[in-house]
């Protein structure tokens, strides 16, 4: 029985199928790779800029630094922030005081604190200064007589220390007899405590624990006159009290 002759159309079909391949898509790949490399380079520059600066960087500063539009900078910041949120990273990029700053992650604070205690200690605030700063932070704007009534002790030297360190500033004068100066926290306060705004302030109990942890190792050897002479009221009780109305007698006292 004779075999059927092959259909010439079948012979032509195979070459046609072989001509279709992924090679037609290859010209698009280099373009995609180029965009990825450009984003990676910009993210690396952005990471370096945030790392080397002590002050939080605003969006405008970053846009100028890497010469990119605002929308792209926001997208790059979101990508970089997500990268640092991975559990194997010990740092994070947070929005602090209207800018962006690299900080250690809260879950590693205790380990970092133990390490830092073995280094040369930085200049610290005394317990009375921390108490006064807490009262101002939670009750601002507030006058010196009002602070004195809450804490129960004079604190002119403490206020001067906080002003010198730019942790507090003046906020005008109160419209009462004597027109005492009002005090409030500053941007430097937000930067030093790693806060976006005063709404992120820790609870009073957490603030008290922070004060104890920072001073417990130095209490025995601390000879600051301010610490020896001013016992103060526990911060949780002091800052939680209602600020009394300041009458003519207290408003006229010296600040």
Q: What are the per-10-residue average pLDDT scores of the chain (255 residues)? A: 56 52 52 62 90 90 91 91 91 90 90 81 79 92 93 88 93 92 93 85 71 60 43 46 39 39
Question: Which tens digit of pLDDT belongs to each residue from 176-195?
Answer: 998 999 999 999 899 888 88
Question: Which tens digit of pLDDT belongs to each residue from 49-72?
Answer: 999 888 899 999 999 998 999 999
Bridging pattern class, strands 168-173 and 181-185? antiparallel
Question: Which tens digit of pLDDT belongs to each residue from 199-219?
Answer: 888 776 776 676 676 666 555
Please tell me the distance from the alpha carbon of residue 14 to that of residue 188, in angstroms, as a whole number: 75
3-state helix, strand, coil in the chain (%, to 5): 55, 10, 35
DSSP H or E segment with residue 74: helix 70-84
Q: For residue 171, give the nearest of 204, 144, 200 by alpha carbon.
A: 144
Q: Which residues pair with 57 in a beta bridge?
A: 100
Per-residue pLDDT at 30: 46
Per-residue pLDDT at 238: 47
Per-residue pLDDT at 125: 86
Using DSSP's 3-state secondary structure scheme, residue 71 falls into: helix
Please tell me the distance from the alpha carbon of residue 82 to that of residue 198, in angstroms, as a whole number: 25
Per-residue pLDDT at 19: 55
Please tell me the distance from the alpha carbon of residue 33 to that of residue 9, in angstroms, as a whole number: 41
Per-residue pLDDT at 18: 53
Which domains are present in the chain? 8-107 (1.10.10.10), 127-251 (1.10.10.10)
**pTM of the predicted model, to two decimals?**
0.47
């Amino acid at each position: 029985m004779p075999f059927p002759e092959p259909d010439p159309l079948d012979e032509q079909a195979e070459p046609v199928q072989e001509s279709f391949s992924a090679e037609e898509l290859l010209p698009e790949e280099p373009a995609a790779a180029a965009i990825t490399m450009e984003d990676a380079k910009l993210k690396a520059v952005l990471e370096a800029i945030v790392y080397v600066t002590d002050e939080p960087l605003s969006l405008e500063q970053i846009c100028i630094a890497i010469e990119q539009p605002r929308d792209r900078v926001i997208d790059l910041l979101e990508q970089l922030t997500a990268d640092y949120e991975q559990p194997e990273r010990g740092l994070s990029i947070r929005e602090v005081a209207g800018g962006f700053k690299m900080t250690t992650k809260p879950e590693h604070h205790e380990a970092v604190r133990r390490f830092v205690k073995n280094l040369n200690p930085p200049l610290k605030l005394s317990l009375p200064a921390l108490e006064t700063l807490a009262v101002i932070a939670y009750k601002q704007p507030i006058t010196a007589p009002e602070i004195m009534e809450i804490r129960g002790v004079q604190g002119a030297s403490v206020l001067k220390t906080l002003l010198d360190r730019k942790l507090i500033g003046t906020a005008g004068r109160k419209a009462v007899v004597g027109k005492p100066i009002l005090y409030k926290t500053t941007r430097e306060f937000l930067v030093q405590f790693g806060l976006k705004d005063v709404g992120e302030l820790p609870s009073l109990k957490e603030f008290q624990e922070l004060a104890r942890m920072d001073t417990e190792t130095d209490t025995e050897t601390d000879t600051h006159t301010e610490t020896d002479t001013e016992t103060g009221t526990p911060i949780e009780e002091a800052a939680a009290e209602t600020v009394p109305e300041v009458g003519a007698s207290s408003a006229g006292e010296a600040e």
